[in-house]
Amino acid sequence: MANLTGRGPGVTSPGRRSMAAAARAAAKRTATGVVEPEKPRLEAPDDASQGRQPDDQQAGPVLYADGAVAGAVAGAAGGAAGGRRRGAVSAVLAVLVVAGLVAVAVFGSAYLDGRQADTARVRALAAARKAAPVVLSYDYRRLEKDFATARGHLTGSFRDEYRRTTTAVVAPTAKKYQGVVRATVVKPPGGGVPAASVVSASPDRAVVLLFVNQVTRSTQIAGDRVDLNRVRMTLTLTSEGWKVSAVDAL
């Protein structure tokens, strides 16, 4: 039988090996009449019999490795994004805290200024009621004493101006005509608090409006002359308390 075994160069296919084995068995039966089982032939196992995976599956671990790397990259990216979100939240919270502190400081300062302004109203008004009768009164018989007492209620440039005016104008005229002026802050007919009110006030400055009556006597006037005046006083807070820094007749 010609080339039934198929033993030629290269690898014999499974089909041809089966045909060769059958031919050998038939020949032996013909010669001896005894059928011996075909001994198994050891063939080089192919890739499948050795447990090797085909080439198209060799990339499996690589794919797993790539997936692991991709997962690690994604995890890192997610961690970075989470970190950025936490950083953004922290920044927003910091801004809110700072804004809250600023608001507290502003409102606290405004509240303190309001309290101080209320205190200024009360104290400046009391100082104006006390100063007006002294500053706007004098008696020719004791001019130096009256003017000195009046200067104790004044401050700043107005005090200097008062000194110059009383020395150069008021004193000579009062002595010459024996002038006497008595000033009082007007009280309601039924009595009560003198007519004065605060026009404006801040912690260190206040403007007060007063209604002042002046009764004047002199050799130039027959009897008493009564002048009804509205006076605006500006007061300034000093180290010695509230002092008059300006007087304007309205």
- pLDDT for residue 143: 97
Identify the weakest region by mean pLDDT among 8-17, 66-75, 186-195. Answer: 8-17
| Number of C-beta neighbours around residue 4 at 10 A | 15
Give dist(CA 212, CA 133) in Å, integer: 8
Residue 42 inside a domain? The answer is no
Could you give the C-alpha distances from 230 to 99, 160, 184, 213, in angstroms and in order? 48, 23, 12, 9
Taking residues 2-11, report their average pLDDT: 46
Q: Is residue 134 part of a domain?
A: yes
pLDDT category at 144 given cuts 50, 70, 90 is: very high
Q: pLDDT of 14-65, one tens digit each? A: 555 555 555 565 555 545 555 455 555 545 455 444 545 555 444 444 444 4
pLDDT at 217: 96
**248 vs 30, higher pLDDT:** 248
Strand partners, 235: 206, 244
What is the rounded distance in angstroms from the CA atom of residue 188 to the CA atom of residue 105? 44
Q: For residue 214, tell me if it sits in a domain.
A: yes
The mean per-residue pLDDT over the stretch 203-232 comes to: 95
**What percentage of the chain exceeds 90 in pLDDT?**
49
pLDDT of residue 94: 77
CATH of the domain at 238: 3.10.450.230
Q: How confident is the model at residue 4 (pLDDT cuts 50, 70, 90)?
A: very low
The whole-number pLDDT of residue 1 equals: 46
pTM of the model: 0.57
- Supply φ then ψ for residue 136, to 5 degrees: -100, 10
Question: Which has the higher per-residue pLDDT, 188 or 67?
Answer: 188
Higher pLDDT: 183 or 104? It is 183
Most confident of 35-39, 76-80, 95-99, 219-223: 219-223
Q: Rounded to an integer, what distance in angstroms lies between the CA atom of residue 38 and that of residue 36?
A: 6
Token representation of residue 52: 């090797």
Query: Is 231 part of any domain?
Result: yes
* Dmax (CA) of the chain: 183
Is 13 part of a structural domain of the chain? no
Residue 35 lies in a domain: no
Q: Which residues contact 173 (CB under 8 A, 6 or more apart)?
A: 179
Residue 135: per-residue pLDDT: 97
Q: Is residue 75 part of a domain?
A: no
Give the torsion sign (CA, 219, 221, 226, 228). Answer: negative
185 part of a folded domain: yes
Q: What pLDDT is stored for residue 5 in this prediction?
A: 44
Confidence at residue 64, expressed as pLDDT on a 0 to 100 scale: 45
Rounded Cα–Cα distance for residues 40 and 103 (Å): 97
Helix axes 156-165, 143-151, angle to 10 degrees: 170
Cα distances from 121 to residues 69, 125, 154, 246, in angstroms, run 77, 6, 18, 17
Number of domains comprising the chain: 1
Range of the domain at 141: 111-249
Contact 227, 220 (CB under 8 A): no
**Most confident range, picked from 24-33, 89-98, 121-130:** 121-130
What pLDDT, on a 0 to 100 scale, did the predictor assign at position 3? 46
Q: Which residues, 6 or more positions from 45, have their beta carbon under 8 angstroms from its beta carbon?
A: none
